[in-house]
Amino acid sequence: MSTQNALLTILVEKINNDTMVLPTLPAIALKVRKAADDPDINLNAMGDVIGQDPSLSARMIKIANSAYLGRSVKVNSISQAVTRIGLRQIKNIATALAMEQLFVSKNELVSQYMKREWENTVNVVANSMAALQTYMARTKKRELSLDTMTLAALVHNIGVLPILTEAERHEEVFANPTFLEDAIDKLSCPIGGSIMRVWGFGDTFISVSENWNDLSVIPSNLSYLDFVRVGAALSGQLESQKDAVLNLAVQRGLVENLNELNSEEFKDMRDSAKLIFA
């Protein structure tokens, strides 16, 4: 057995034995999610929770003033931002913004991969959000929400993190491009599902993380998984399956025709979404 296959076997065993070290959500994201789940929480109390983290506060104000929410009157405080965004969306947006903190490493090679994966993820998020906005504008349907779409796209490839963390811990054997590419390709989706379960996320997020690159899994109804796949295809993450993904999107009514994904309106929405994470 080659060293590469041996290392893959080790990772698979860790997954099966529940011994793989999975990433934990940043503390501020946990606080916000816990507060949002409190039936007695109000906007002022939520503002106080978010206000504990200056960086998150600034990003929330930025989002409240962005094209993402389509408002022209500017807000200047976290209380105003929370009021505009709303408690339902705050939970997922705060989690999304905090996730960037997970994509860091002191190892030079692993750091490059972390940076690449985060940039890829942001591109998938932006394209997925734009695809959903386009769909909602055309159909007037609101069964899917933009904030949940944002978080689903952000966690779609979360399974790469333990692989890269393992490479950092054992850089003398794991931290080489050949192994990392193979491990990410083969293991990131099952690991991603494990992370979603550990984090207590619902079936929607588990399904996206486990199945986003497996076109044999097709939900009975149009779902976040469909939009994440389109976002990934447009971002170069499903290069060999791009045509199949986009044709499926037309068949399932996600888009009326592929010209929608090349329109100036779509590009503007995509670029606005990317600014959230700039």
Query: Can you give the pTM of this predicted structure?
Result: 0.82
CA dihedral for 106, 30, 75, 64, sign (positive or negative): positive
pLDDT score for 81: 87
One pLDDT digit (tens) per residue for the chain, 278 residues: 465 566 667 777 777 777 777 777 788 888 888 888 888 888 889 889 999 888 888 888 888 887 666 666 788 888 888 888 887 778 877 877 778 888 888 888 889 999 999 999 999 999 999 999 999 999 999 899 888 898 899 999 999 988 888 778 777 766 677 778 888 888 889 889 988 888 888 999 999 999 999 999 999 999 999 999 999 999 999 989 999 999 999 999 999 999 999 999 999 999 988 877 76
* Token digits of residue 37: 């789940």
* Token digits of residue 98: 């905090």
User: In 86-176, where does DSSP find H-type helix?
Assistant: 87-98, 108-139, 146-154, 160-169
Closest CA to 150 of 232, 77, 95, 75: 95
pLDDT score for 146: 86
φ/ψ region of 200 (left if φ > 0, alpha if ψ in -120 to 50, else beta) reads left
Identify the CATH number of the domain defined by range 3-23+104-275: 1.10.3210.10
pLDDT score for 69: 64
d(CA 78, CA 144): 26
pLDDT score for 8: 66
Domain boundaries, the chain: 3-23+104-275
pLDDT score for 207: 96
C-alpha pair distances (Å), 242 with each of 136, 190, 198, 276 = 22, 22, 31, 26
pLDDT score for 174: 66
- Going by the DSSP 8-state scheme, the letter that residue 258 receives in this structure is G
d(CA 175, CA 166): 9
Closest CA to 117 of 208, 237, 8: 237
